[in-house]
Structure 1
């Protein structure tokens, strides 16, 4: 059975994260209603993005240039590499404007259940970059999940023989957080990561 153009559009939109079938139908109807001002420019932008955006060969970021803008920026600190699971994490850190070093995107985390081993991640590239004498610190910014922690421990083992300081992001009480709303794991991590004032 052939799908109509509308059904195909709804099915494709439903594949996006956060959109179920009902939300995809609403989005498709909105796009059709705003064909000239939204749908056609969106289709053009999607085509250009598909043709031009690629992974940076140095860090794994997404950009239209290779190396990416962050890797080419001479103002960035070349001595510090922040290791992250995906590009969304890079964007989150860049939003803070608190980190001025370079990044390394792994492309996920180790996960035995999903069949993701070290070969599927960009860990060898990280080890090669960390071996550069100009690099003095590698920050592990993995999520506080079992897979994130497993990946961080694996990377620490791989970097053990190099002359580089390995640090990790602090875990614990968020700014503005109230203790009675936090889960046990977060409170435990906060107690273990306490520091003097």
Structure 2
């Protein structure tokens, strides 16, 4: 039996080496592509991304990843956005002005801000934080289905997605007393703000469940 195939887009921005190694460790064949494939050539798709929202989206557009992601979402096959790749799934990003995203998840990407009455905190938010589940059955049928609430993942970010519909929030965490969107999902599309490839056994379990579809 052949191994599951995962396509990782190489549009010049992303933690590609670590992502590919983690996916391979989970038993998949990884195809790292620097030329945009057609949607019908892809079984499972990973959108990586680091840095500023606008720069990442500009690179995605030059590569063709924005149109590919929209077309691939229509196939019903699994897609995963990581870090800024997760933020790219939203309609608008507010980093250094307003910039359009892919638009698969209604909402905006906004700067982390202290809760009312809380002292200012340092940005970026860097380090391990527990994953919280907004509803008891929210992780069923998603890549987080093997995670236990309170298990830790590794974050590096200053912005996070704010979905228009709360049902799109798959997981949260806290920075100080500020509630942070840690993961989002809509049908076959999942996005994680944390780095599963840097989150130890928890991250590998998430990638394995994504690969399993």
Query: TM-score, normalising length from structure 1?
Result: 0.34
Q: Which has the higher helix share?
A: 1
Query: TM-score, normalising length from structure 2?
Result: 0.32
Q: Whose RCO is larger (CA < 8 A, sep 6+)? A: 2
Larger Rg: 1
Q: Which has the higher strand share?
A: 2
